[in-house]
Chain A
Amino acid sequence: MDLSDTPEEAAFRARLREWLAEAVPAAGPEPDPADWPGRRAHDLGWQRTLYDAGYADVHWDASPALRMIFLEESEKAGAPYVGANFVGLLHAGPTIAAEGTDAQRARWLPPILRGEQVWCQGFSEPDAGSDLAALRTRARRDGDDYVVTGGKIWTSHAEVADWCELLVRTDPDAPRHRGITWLALPMDAAGVTVRPLRTLAGSTEFAEVFLDEVRVPAANRVGAENDGWRVTMVTLSFERGTAFVGEVVACRRVLRRLAGAARENGRWDDPVLRRALGRLDAEFRALWRLTQWNVSEATANGGVPGVAGSVFKLRYSTARQDLYDTAADVLGAGALDLDRPWVLDRLSSLSYTIAAGTSQIQRNIVAERMLGLPKGR
């Protein structure tokens, strides 16, 4: 058990910290959350800055320890998070890197790393959410193209994306996991319609994507036809591994601010509130250590973060909701004012126990794959 940096890690951390101290202020203020073109430009601009400084591929090539340090220091410095680059950097990109041809890697990866193109994820459908393998968006082969018809939902950044990693059904007669294919869909193709969905927080974080006889070249297929399920799962655990490291650091900062605010408005004198804040601090300390533990164990066991990510996500999603519920206790009547800090965060925290696998699905995963219990019903 050792939590200290190696000399190499310490050097990386020091160099990064020094660079961030100059680069972050130069990146300019965060754009308004409702300003999608502005957010796209801001997120891509930061990725370009990372590229120029040699940090663009830290999520892909660096050791897990360096990746953790990168996320930790970036968050501490107040650097922009991946934002609109999320799917490109953390899912579609790694999938193409692992399963694509040389030509596909040369075509799609450099624009992701240079901050030139945004990817979105076309997985869920109105009737295929937790049961993703029930997806029905149909792709029929016609010459050198697939002709795609159907619809996707909960697609983040669809409004500003250049590409969509799309799961389609190519063989409706095969067992359901074996008739799925992974395609790169250009979002400007004829027949693609994006309809923004308004979340309960009032913003348009994601969209519905309608596909009507959209022609996608067969050259855009990654992996073999009907092998899309496996292609996707190779990297799906990635987003449950280290993806939330920065957020845990950010939550700890919010917690300190909450305590400060409570001291100022007198609510600190309430021992129930004070103890709730103390317990949240324990929770986020533990989540930070759990991330380190999971990365450490995954490295020792050969690399890929496994179902341990489900353990983290189950705990973190609830902790985040508790954090902002406690923020409401600190704010008092202010908790009902959308212009106060933390009120929108409280609303958006509600998605955490649903997105990227609901808490119920995560518990099924833990029960079946970690505890070896019989498949549930």
Chain B
Amino acid sequence: MSVRFGLTDDQKALRTGVRRLLERRFPREALRAAVDAPGRLDRELWRALGEAGFFALRLPEAEGGVGLGRPEAVLAFEEAGRALLPGPLVATHLAAGAVPGAAGGEVAVAAVDGELVEWLEAADVVRGDVRGAVPLRSVDPLTPLHRVPHPAAADPLAVLLTAAEQLGSAVRLRELAVQHARTRQQFGRPIGAFQAVQHLCADLLVRAETARAAVYAAAVTGDPGDIAAARLLADEAAVRGARDCLQVHGGMGFTWEADVHLHLKRAWVRAGRSGGVTESEELLAAALVR
């Protein structure tokens, strides 16, 4: 059991492959360019993701998919979260096989989740009832949002993939914090030599690694309780992680130029998906007395 919980060689290769693809197709300059052009979906990048199998990952090979499972999808979405990849990734991934063109990245699919829809205007296909949708001035420059009067419940798989994205952010935020703590000098030494800063960084790691175990386990079991637990841990790791990373960055962390705020804002958007943390907590509580 437990001794085979770790990633297989194929899974490690898949993770590395997605990371390399995103480093090539969506480097930091592309991220900052996207921030400057809000609401625009990069179709070339979308097709590249489609060709790489990002959307068709879990689709059976007989249907033209890659034929892999939840764990592989989770690893791919973790990388997407790490890179802050924009676009209706979860909705399009879940539409693969059901909406023509979604699997190959020719079509971008948006979906109603709770009372929000991400990327409504840029999407080619919208799933759910969007009558009366009103645009919001989105807090996240990389996620256009509409509010709808007819909320829809979320697929547990959407919750899991969102948790994977949160995990990716959490891990990246830990790296950013540690990088800054190692290089920024004050009082004649790196600020990472001070325990007050070290302990913030240690907590970033503890939250991210605990979330990782929960997210990967939920990917293996697919159990609704495990998925709810994964989302709670991953939301905490990303949101608290962004706050602590911002704090480690000091004044720089409060600027538009640093990437920390982009992770924080996206983490807030993701934490608001699928009924928010309340729904997951209530689901787990209800299971305790069943």
List the interface of chain A (C-beta within 8 A of B). 1-6, 9, 63-65, 68-69, 255-256, 259-260, 263, 268, 271, 274-275, 277-279, 281-283, 285-287, 289-293, 295-297, 299-300, 308, 311, 314-315, 360, 362-364, 366-368, 370-377
Interface pairs (27), CB distance under 8 Å: A1-B219, A2-B5, A68-B2, A259-B289, A268-B289, A274-B282, A275-B278, A281-B287, A285-B214, A285-B229, A289-B214, A290-B210, A292-B5, A292-B217, A295-B5, A296-B5, A296-B6, A308-B209, A363-B195, A364-B202, A367-B192, A367-B195, A367-B198, A367-B201, A371-B178, A373-B190, A373-B201
Q: What class of interface size applies to chain B in its complex with A?
A: 35 or more
Cβ contact within 8 Å between B229 and A1:
no
Cβ contact within 8 Å between A282 and B1:
no
Cβ contact within 8 Å between A363 and B189:
no
User: A277-B288, A363-B203, A373-B181 are contacts. A289–B213 as well, Cβ < 8 Å?
Assistant: yes
User: A295-B2, A373-B182, A376-B195 are contacts. A367–B202 as well, Cβ < 8 Å?
Assistant: yes
Produce 1/0 per residue, B226-249, CB < 8 A to A.
Answer: 101110110000000000000000
A373 to B284, CA, bound (A): 37
Give the Cβ gap from B58 to chain A, nearest Cβ, in Å. Answer: 14
Cβ contact within 8 Å between A289 and B217:
yes
Q: Which of A68, A308, A377 is close to B193, meaning CB atoms less than 8 Å apart?
A: A377
A371 to B195, CA, bound (A): 13
A291 to B289, CA, bound (A): 25
List of B residues within 8 angstroms of A371 by Cβ: 174, 178, 198, 201-202, 205
Cβ contact within 8 Å between A373 and B178:
yes
List of B residues within 8 angstroms of A69 by Cβ: 1
Q: Please give me the 6 A-B residue pairs with the lowest Cβ-Cβ distance, nearest first.
A: A278-B281, A367-B198, A278-B285, A292-B2, A282-B229, A278-B284
User: A373-B201, A374-B190 are contacts. A274–B4 as well, Cβ < 8 Å?
Assistant: no
Give the Cβ gap from B236 to chain A, nearest Cβ, in Å. Answer: 9
Cβ contact within 8 Å between A311 and B220:
no
A40 to B225, CA, bound (A): 40
Least CB separation from A368: chain B residue? B198
Produce 1/0 per residue, B265-290, CB < 8 A to A.
Answer: 00000000000001011111111110
A363 to B201, CA, bound (A): 9
A283 to B230, CA, bound (A): 9
**17 further interface pairs, Cβ-Cβ under 8 Å (given A68-B1, A281-B284, A282-B233):** A1-B219, A64-B2, A259-B288, A259-B289, A263-B289, A282-B229, A285-B214, A285-B229, A286-B229, A293-B5, A363-B195, A363-B202, A367-B201, A370-B205, A371-B201, A373-B192, A376-B194
List of A residues within 8 angstroms of B195 by Cβ: 360, 363-364, 367, 376-377
